[in-house]
């Protein structure tokens, strides 16, 4: 994980030395709460979301401010495609934008879409900001509720 150099205030105007606690929900009963540094990028946040659900981080993804309906029509979109030169006008990338800027205050929610083919959608919410604890390795999983689905389930239609 690429880490930013700390020193002074973070770019979002919040004090340095904070952490961000997020809830990533696949379904109301299937969610993970985890903590990341306030300097983490959306790319690092995506990698953490995928890791806490035991998925492989092997597909493109995006964060969308619309939570229902056509998320691709969201006025605010952060997509990996923008970083590799394949995004549409208005798309922002994920490799330079800090999670603390995309999720400016507790309660902020976005839809996280992973793997445009299979369409894994997660609701991501910033739960809280808190002072950084010394000697704590981040990111860290805080709560794991419910059994995560299999990213690549066995095919039920096996050859006869």
pLDDT in tens, 58-99: 999 999 999 988 998 999 999 999 888 887 777 899 999 999
Whole-angstrom Cα distance, residue 18 to residue 115? Answer: 30
pTM: 0.84
Q: Which domains does the chain have, with CATH numbers?
A: 18-145 (3.10.290.30)
> Is the CB of residue 22 less than 8 Å from the CB of residue 36?
yes
Q: Say what the pLDDT of residue 156 is.
A: 56
Mean pLDDT by 10 residues, the chain (160 residues): 32 65 96 97 98 95 94 92 82 94 97 95 97 93 95 67
Q: Say what the pLDDT of residue 128 is.
A: 97
């Amino acid at each position: 994980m690429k880490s930013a150099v700390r020193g002074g205030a973070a770019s979002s105007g919040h004090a340095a030395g904070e952490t961000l606690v997020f809830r990533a929900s696949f379904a109301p009963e299937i969610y993970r709460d985890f903590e990341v540094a306030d300097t983490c990028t959306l790319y690092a946040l995506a990698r953490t979301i995928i890791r806490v659900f035991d998925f492989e981080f092997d597909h493109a993804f995006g964060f969308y401010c619309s939570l229902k309906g056509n998320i691709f029509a969201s006025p605010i979109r952060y997509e990996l495609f923008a970083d590799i030169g394949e995004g549409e006008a208005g798309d922002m990338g994920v490799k330079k934008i800090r999670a603390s800027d995309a999720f400016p205050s507790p309660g902020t929610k976005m839809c996280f879409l992973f793997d445009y083919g299979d369409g894994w959608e997660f609701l991501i919410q910033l739960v809280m900001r808190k002072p950084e604890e010394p000697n704590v390795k981040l990111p860290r999983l805080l709560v794991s509720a419910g059994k995560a689905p299999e990213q690549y389930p066995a095919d039920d239609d096996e050859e006869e």
